Chain A
């Protein structure tokens, strides 16, 4: 996987975790979980974000604002954001060397 894509995936997973604590923290704490490391997680998120190329970052932010999630998995050659077909040639030739976008919705593509 492209190192920038790896960072974007890690960033989105971290933001999901932070959002979960914000939205579901009380319920999770009721089960016994503690979230004392939340501030550290926010700092770690900033640290990952600072390693992302600014061009990718502004794009990631714009997509997150628009769709909720900027990075989406490709499943059965479909972008799971908009369900448009992703040509298989996309994967083999270019995925390794660059961060790939869906041609119809612009979301960042990830092959799980």
Chain B
């Protein structure tokens, strides 16, 4: 799956360029609030419980400075991707101990049987290995600039 296809599952309403929280729990809350306000998804508690379980399973901060909270839940009817950024960075239990600045949240319905969201995750993680890209994403002025940087190869 290419990045263009992955970006079809997000939108300007699902872009949070300036997260304010200073700890992991606060960030998760901000991310879930962003999902609710940016879509017609209603059940924040269900999504929060799922993301929390996923973090307990093992931190999703697996990229350099990047986390990929993800999972399936009944609360959504289609693959939904939220992109977010924290200028200050936050402790998201990354393996290298470095703060996390960028967040790609992927929420899929249970019936996503061809594992579309896992393919999207793989494409995003692959793309995120590029250090120049991470700098551009931190500097991008808006959603369009952020997506344009993502699309550059």
Interface residues of B in 53-107 (CB under 8 A from A): 53-54, 56-60, 62-63, 71-77, 95
Produce 1/0 per residue, A24-58, CB < 8 A to B. 10011001111111101100100000000000000
Residues of A within 8 A of B53 (CB): 13-14, 17, 41, 44
Interface residues of chain A, those whose CB is within 8 Å of chain B, are: 1, 6, 9-10, 12-14, 16-17, 20-21, 24, 27-28, 31-38, 40-41, 44, 69, 71-73, 75, 80, 110, 112
Contacts between chains A and B (CB distance < 8 A), count: 87
Q: Which residues of B contact A (CB under 8 A)?
A: 41-43, 45-46, 49-50, 53-54, 56-60, 62-63, 71-77, 95, 109-111, 115, 118, 121-122, 125
Q: What's the minimum C-beta distance from B53 to chain A, rounded to whole angstroms?
A: 6
Kindly identify which residue among A28, A38, A72, A80 contacts B118, using a CB–CB cutoff of 8 Å: A28
Distance from B100 Cβ to chain A, minimum over Cβ atoms (Å): 13
Give the complex CA separation of A80 and B111 in angstroms: 10
Report whether B43 and A10 are in contact in the complex, using a CB–CB cutoff of 8 Å: no
Given A6-B46, A33-B58, 11 additional A-B pairs, CB 8 A: A9-B73, A13-B50, A13-B72, A16-B71, A20-B71, A24-B115, A35-B58, A36-B57, A37-B58, A38-B57, A112-B77
CB pair B75 A112 closer than 8 Å: yes
Tell whether A13 pairs with B56 under 8 Å between CB atoms, given A1-B43, A24-B115, A27-B118. no
The complex places the Cα of A16 from the Cα of B75 at a distance, in Å, of: 13
A112 and B125 CA atoms in complex are apart in Å by 29
Docked complex Cα distance between A34 and B62 (Å): 9
CB of B57 within 8 A of CB of A35, answer yes
Q: Are A13 and B63 in contact (CB under 8 A)?
A: no
